[in-house]
Structure 1
């Protein structure tokens, strides 16, 4: 097993981190991460310039002040060290074979606690150094602009909690009369909310008013803004809210 002292001796700063996409995990394949790049995505700007006016009119945030972004590229450089030619060629074939055919799905990065990206592999390029016995692979993913929480906001699965950016809260309520509640969206953008209802309930908030009977509701008009969302419920039911936060990392 090659340890970190080896990397220092050959002049590489390698982190004990990895990415997982589909069935492929970089560390399990002895691909040690040498570099990671995740620049912020570009904004979809809608601007108009008017003659004899300073600056421009920016209409990009007319829909509730939310900013909209294009996909972002996340790039990893992973390296295989001190291996013979057949091993390096096999590693090159495997990383291409396992990553490129897959469609859009979760990309897990050990750097991003409790969240994942959603995207597909855009390219895999390699640099084989026969003299040093190394294989450097640059892997580029085309991803949705926000990282998405691995678990429902109310799940509070201990191993997945990232304490600097987490909010513990109740997302299931028993309603016997009018009940005031707060749901907190600790992410970076507004998100839709699913609702499970056992009984009958009317829910009122900034999104308006919705009356629900027993069932599971995936698509509703309920959108949780960033921060605290106050609402009231009236009726007799057990109501469970479900939502996944989206974070700009």
Structure 2
């Protein structure tokens, strides 16, 4: 980024600077709230919290609000401004469902976002402000999987250097670290394996296995791999 007008977001295949947009003041990165399920107990002041009954705390979606300054830099006219916001609104509204949204400030992470609510537009002469609110998956997702050794992408404050690929003969026990939230790893192997992650054991067939039943809890996990062959455990760090 060389100047303020080039700072922005990448969404739906385009960077905001391609439309001549400038991000105005007051950008809001919302944080996800915990989703609580509680039961009131008669004659008690302490409700029972069932939110983590399946082992993890669920979170609500988060919002990101951005105000863009819109003007036609080649034709300072009201008509030009209206043509410009027509292009921008159609760019932002096109995806059905959440797609990757990148904030230039943290380019190695992305949000999964969709513009659900209608944007608002305020104009002053030939310049307008389009305020957009994105509804997002609760967590930021790292672009590179755990265990990557890409120097430029490695997070030296929050990242973890670790092995995720193993050649096993019989059995191997190791430690893997998930520095973020609960995630669902993908396992690639050229032979059948029994994989134990923490307290959960999975029967993995040769090939690529992805399932919501496969989980990698946060923190340090003991991992036992039983089988003979090559195996890779792939997961992406998710942070609030």
Compute the TM-score of the two structures, normalised by the length of structure 2: 0.86
Secondary structure of the residue aligned to 2:170 is: coil
User: Is the alpha carbon distance of 1:210 and 1:48 closer, same or farther for their aligned partners in structure 2, counting shifts above 3 Å?
Assistant: closer
Number of the residue aligned with 1:238? 230
CA distance in 2, matches of 1:203, 1:88: 58
**Superposition CA RMSD, Å:** 2.3
User: Is the alpha carbon distance of 1:16 and 1:3 closer, same or farther for their aligned partners in structure 2, counting shifts above 3 Å?
Assistant: closer
Q: Among residues 87, 91, 95, which one is paired with 2:84 in the alignment?
A: 91
1:143: how far off?
Answer: 0.8
- Where structure 2 has 5 or more consecutive residues not aligned to the other structure, the ranges are none
Q: How does 1:94-133 map to 2 (within 5 A)?
A: 94-103=87-96, 104-122=98-116, 123-130=118-125, 133=126
CA distance in 2, matches of 1:219, 1:72: 25
Number of the residue aligned with 2:139? 146
1:43 aligns with 2:34: yes
Say if 2:197 and 2:216, in contact at 8 Å, map to a contact too: no
Aligned length: 233
CA distance in 2, matches of 1:156, 1:162: 10
User: Is the alpha carbon distance of 1:220 and 1:61 closer, same or farther for their aligned partners in structure 2, counting shifts above 3 Å?
Assistant: closer
User: Is the alpha carbon distance of 1:158 and 1:126 closer, same or farther for their aligned partners in structure 2, counting shifts above 3 Å?
Assistant: farther
Say if 2:177 and 2:221, in contact at 8 Å, map to a contact too: yes
Number of the residue aligned with 1:171? 164
Secondary structure of the residue aligned to 1:175 is: strand
Number of the residue aligned with 2:202? 210
Compute the TM-score of the two structures, normalised by the length of structure 1: 0.83
1:208-229 deviation digits (Å, cap 9, x = unpaired): 3334342111127431111111
CA distance in 2, matches of 1:23, 1:235: 42
User: Is the alpha carbon distance of 1:28 and 1:126 closer, same or farther for their aligned partners in structure 2, counting shifts above 3 Å?
Assistant: same
User: Is the alpha carbon distance of 1:210 and 1:49 closer, same or farther for their aligned partners in structure 2, counting shifts above 3 Å?
Assistant: closer
Say if 1:105 and 1:119, in contact at 8 Å, map to a contact too: yes
1:59 aligns with 2:50: yes
- Where structure 1 has 5 or more consecutive residues not aligned to the other structure, the ranges are 5-14
User: Is the alpha carbon distance of 1:205 and 1:25 closer, same or farther for their aligned partners in structure 2, counting shifts above 3 Å?
Assistant: closer
User: Is the alpha carbon distance of 1:186 and 1:93 closer, same or farther for their aligned partners in structure 2, counting shifts above 3 Å?
Assistant: same
